[in-house]
Amino acid sequence: MSKEIIKYKCKECGKKVLEKDLHYMDNDRLIKEKLCFTCDFWMKKVKTIKDPNWVRVNNESYYIGDETEKGFRGFDSRKFIIKFNNGKIIETTNLWHQGEIPQHFRKRLFNNAEFIK
């Protein structure tokens, strides 16, 4: 039985990153920045927090896709009405769920909208 080799601990969540876990295309950057794969995903979101198509409601992350997209559409083209904290209201039929924002990212990735029924 081979021993698991710990490469480093993630600087965001403290998770042990094992050598066997480093099989992604951007390993050098992950190692340099001392991030696990999951925290790397959310750190990219921190860097693009002003993206107007990025919606955060109830600590869940969503992305508004192009309405002219002819292929797959988020939530099977269900209509969403979104009210942003700045008062702007938009409708979309191409919303993509990205997952729950981890607790340790919520101060940086705060809710910026709500769904209107």
Taking only the tens place, the pLDDT of each residue in 66-106 is 998 788 899 999 999 999 999 999 999 999 999 999 999 99
Per-residue confidence (pLDDT) for residue 21, from 0 to 100: 77
Q: In the prediction, which pLDDT does 24 show?
A: 67
Q: What is the structure's pLDDT at 25?
A: 64
Q: What is the pLDDT of residue 30?
A: 87
pTM for the full model?
0.85
Question: Which pairs with CB-CB distance under 8 Å and at least 24 residues apart come from 50-54?
Answer: 54/112
DSSP state for residue 76 in the 8-state scheme = G
Provide the pLDDT for residue 2.
56
pLDDT of residue 56: 98
Residue in 111, 112, 66 with CA at minimum distance from that of residue 93: 66
**pLDDT for 17-65, tens place per residue?**
988 777 766 788 888 999 998 999 999 999 999 999 999 999 999 999 9
- Spell out the domain ranges in the chain: 1-47, 49-117
Whole-angstrom distance, CA of residue 87 vs CA of residue 97: 22
Distance CA 75, CA 117 (A): 16
